[in-house]
Amino acid sequence: MQQIPPKKKKVKVPRVVNGIETMVEIEVDDVGGPSWGPNDKHTLLNHHLTRVDGPLKVSGVAEYTYDKRLSGMLHGRVLRSPHAHARVIKIDSSAAERMPGVKAVISITDKRDQSAPAETGGTKPAEPKDTIVHFAGEPVAAVAADTPEIAGDAIRTIKVEYEVLPHVVRAEDALKETAPKVFPEGNLEKRDTQGDATKVSEAWEKCDVVFEGEYRTPIIHHSSLETHGHVVDFRGGNTATVYASTQGTFTIPGDAARELGLKESDVTAIVEHMGGGFGSKFGIGIEGSLACRLARQAKAPVKLMLTRQDEFLLAGNRSGSWQKFKAGATKDGTLVALHATQYQLGGLGDGSQAGQPYIYKAANFYRERFAIHTNEDASRAMRAPGHPQASYAMECLMEDLAAKLGMDPIEFRKKNLIDRVYHRQLDRAAREIGWDRRKNPGESAGPLKRGIGCGIGTWGGGGNNQCKVDVTISRDGSVVVAVGTQDLGTGTRTFTRAIVAEELGLQVNDIAEKIGNSTLGGANASGGSTTSASLSPSVKNGAYKARIAMAEKIAPLLGGGKPEEITFAGGKVSGGGKSLAWKQACAALPSAGVSARGEWQAELQASGVHGVCFAEVEVDVETGRVRPIKMVQVQDIGLPLNRLAVESQINGGMIQSIGMVLWEERVMDANLGIQLNPGFGDYKLPGCAEMPELVALIDDEDKREAVIGVGEAGIIPSVGALANAVFNAIGVRVHDLPVTPDKILMALTNRRTNA
């Protein structure tokens, strides 16, 4: 009998490249399959589940790339350029090559033959005309040696002769006509325009209030606890294994194969555990490229993990922003006109920034976005690329307009928000924070002034069809779910087990997972909050298929019946009035057990989330010190796979926003073109003493029976909420982050002077 192929349908899904999300149209099968069912009817999902890898991590048993120690392994170190822009005239590595214990030395002036492994060590003749470094920190050489100490000593013996060239590291300077050109085309690159500038110009006369303001965010760092790095196990043969600290298991083999002169299929990537990425770890990167080249030269495994200073100087960052607004509204709070000029400050990269007016409706708007290029390391994706910057600026603008109108900021926002999901979230968070206690900006009495502010954010979080999941049920009752995906510490291992366990009527600890290996089923990289929405439908589909396959095998023992009518619950398999314990049922399976491959189901995921955050702070106007008191965030997510993990993501976003608003910034010396604070001693992150009360609220009024990613969304609305809380406390706006004591005191002084 001829099988009828399944019908096809087209859907739009996110594809993430280097952490940046773009929407593409794909074709998928239009077939029926499992559904999640009502969000409040699950036995495991949508409950508080303890992470299965928690004990491994707190006990130190979990093995990260940084922990890898292989026999014969060498250690790599990187030599960085001290100049923001320079021509490399000559590199003399002869002293390093002669050092005992040094096994490989490479430099950016090497001639590289990718068709075959290098036969000898050492360096090759320099090509001075073509060798330019474009930022301070750019790698110029690398060494592999028997110990990290020897490698570090060897790096310091390498002599590099530079011709220093003009540089620019500040956005304002880069816009000057006399500024050195970062790229031949210039330093200002137009990204896009939207709206009608003429209509905006004509609308100003319809406004009762017009406000102009600028808002800036600095370049900040990912600050992953595990630095970028790889262990490349290549010994001169035809295969290699790369242990990677990466957000994408399957982004590694192709990149590494090109550097090692191998076929992609001969390179295996392994990601057992990894210590944070936040968008900065896709592909092997420059550090992985250097590790592969060193391993290829030495014909030995090489471990190259960046030092903390390396991490700050050459591993990317979150792009800064500079946004200029002119906005007008009527007395009833209607946003009539908005003109926005947006600058993305991504160094050598493009940077990222969501377009204005972000989530709000303006009757007339015009925006133009530009990238300003400087001699700084290129920005990379960082948790919700471009959204915290855009939300922060727009939320500050809305707060400033509300103050000028003398209108309640919540009511002003509602007036200009079409999506009423935000209305209910604003009301809920306002009740939780105690909005009725809020005073007008600057009215709080005494030197310790309290302020409350709010902010709003949005994100996509949908999935795509890249995950292939295998679920195997064995005769001894064991169940394994296998897929090559990585777990960044966000709980992938736990929800993968939980989905299979719930489908089979078991508990989380009854399931074993195999992940983080490129020899397993394919998976997407963890970027754009697409992992949950890509992986969980495939896991659900695989678990469903495995359940049906098992039901078909044991149906005769239960008196027959359709496989779909056999129930799996409470550790038992039941049907036809009979019941078998789980292990009894499994014992009746064939010797190979049963297995099924799960494919992505578009109906099991969705896209588009809403989030609202409120923050309360205390500001000492005599010292300028800001103390966060309480933060409340309401976030929808469709079906929460693990409430504990979702709440943790929201809390983590609020904590990261505290750093972004109050402390974090990369400090550059404009004359030298170097970063002045490339280490945790000078780059301030929030610690335990700075933590406020954190209240993470999952919006269960979102009834979508579909999985949506939430990792990115957690940080977006809280940046504006904190900045607006400071404004409400002191009654004067600090326009550029971070809001440090000196800026607060200066703003207060200027207000008194201009009063």
pLDDT digits (tens, 9 = 90+) for 313-347: 999 999 999 999 999 999 999 999 999 999 999 99
Model confidence band, residue 33 (pLDDT cutoffs 50, 70, 90): confident
Whether the upstream peptide bond of residue 357 has omega within 30° of 0, thus cis, is yes
Identify the residue with better confidence: 216 or 1.
216
Query: Lowest-confidence range among 102-111, 202-211, 266-275?
Result: 102-111
The third-level CATH classification (topology) of the domain covering 419-460+606-754 is Aldehyde Oxidoreductase; domain 4 (3.30.365)
Percent of the chain with pLDDT over 90: 91
Q: How confident is the model at residue 50 (pLDDT cuts 50, 70, 90)?
A: very high
Which tokens in the block code for residue 250? 């399957």
**Span 395-407, average pLDDT:** 98
Burial class (CB in 10 A: 0-12, 13-18, 19+), 509: exposed
Task: Give the angle subtended at the CA of 629 by the CAs of 395 and 699, to the nearest 5°.
Answer: 60
3 state SS of 433: helix
CA distance linking residue 403 with residue 413, whole number of Å = 12
Q: Are 324 and 341 in contact (CB under 8 A)?
A: yes
- Level-2 CATH architecture, domain 181-220+317-396: 2-Layer Sandwich (3.30)
Q: What SS3 state is found at 451?
A: strand
At 605-661, the pLDDT tens digits run 999 999 999 999 999 999 999 999 999 999 999 999 999 999 999 999 999 999 999
Average confidence (pLDDT) over 165-169:
98
| Three-state secondary structure string covering 202-248 | HHHHHCCEEEEEEEEECCECCCCCCCCEEEEECCCCCCEEEEECCCC
Residue 586 has pLDDT above 90, yes or no: yes
Average pLDDT across the chain, whole number: 94
Multiple choice CATH, 65-166+222-314, 3.30.70.2340, 2.40.50.100, 3.30.930.10, 3.90.1170.50: 3.90.1170.50
Instruction: Tell me the C-alpha distance between 373 and 134, whole Å.
Output: 11
Q: Are 348 and 377 in contact (CB under 8 A)?
A: yes
Q: What is the pLDDT of residue 168?
A: 98
Residue 605 DSSP symbol? B
Q: Which helix (H) or strand (E) holds 415?
A: helix 409-415
Say which CATH class 8-62+463-604 falls into.
Answer: alpha beta
Cα-only R_g, the chain: 28
Phi and psi at residue 272, to the nearest 5° = -75, -55
pLDDT band at 7 (very low <50, low <70, confident <90, very high): low
Q: At what angle do helices 716-730 and 387-405 cross, to 10 degrees?
A: 30
Q: Is the pLDDT of residue 139 over 50?
A: yes
Residue 9: is its pLDDT beyond 80? no
Q: State both tokens at 294.
A: 């060193």
Each residue of 705-718: b (16+ CB within 10 Å) or e?
ebbbbbbbbbbbbb
Mean pLDDT of 278-291: 97
The per-residue pLDDT for 629 is 98
Write the burial class of residue 537 (CB in 10 Å: 0-12 exposed, 13-18 middle, 19+ buried). Answer: buried
Four-residue CA torsion sign, 44, 48, 50, 53: positive
Spatial distance between the Cα atoms of 282 and 533, rounded to a whole number of angstroms:
19
Question: What does the pLDDT look like over 691-743, one tens digit per residue?
Answer: 999 999 999 999 999 999 999 999 999 999 999 999 999 999 999 999 999 99
β-bridge pairing 86-92 and 159-164 = antiparallel
The whole-number pLDDT of residue 118 equals 32
The domain segmentation of the chain, as residue ranges, is: 8-62+463-604, 65-166+222-314, 181-220+317-396, 419-460+606-754
Judge contact between 669 and 569, C-beta under 8 A: no
Could you tell me the pLDDT band of residue 127, with boundaries at 50, 70 and 90? very low
Q: How many residues does the chain have?
A: 755
Strands 20-29 and 8-17: antiparallel
What is the spatial order of strands in the sheet that 159-164 belongs to?
132-133, 86-92, 159-164
Is residue 429 within 8 Å of residue 614, measured between CB atoms?
A: yes
Residue 39, SS3 per DSSP: helix
Query: Which residue, among 176, 413, 171, 197, has the nearest Cα to 326 in the 3D structure?
Result: 197
- Please give the share of the chain, as a percent, with pLDDT higher than 70: 95
In angstroms, what CA-CA distances link 730 with 454, 619, 720, 750?
Answer: 15, 7, 16, 13
Q: What is the pLDDT of residue 130?
A: 74
Q: Confirm whether 65-166+222-314 and 419-460+606-754 share one CATH topology.
A: no
Q: What is the pLDDT of residues 637-648, one digit of tens each?
A: 999 999 999 999
Write down the pLDDT at residue 1: 41
Cα–Cα distance, 718 to 715 (Å, whole number): 6
* Listed residue (746, 733, 453, 442) closest to 624, CA to CA: 746
359-384 pLDDT, tens digit per residue, is 999 999 999 999 999 999 999 999 99
- Torsion (CA) 728, 730, 736, 742 in degrees, nearest 10: -160
| Residue 283: band (very low, low, confident or very high) from pLDDT cuts 50, 70, 90 | very high
**C-alpha angle 618-660-666 in degrees, rounded to nearest 5:** 125
Beta strands in 426-510 (DSSP E): 448-459, 469-473, 479-482
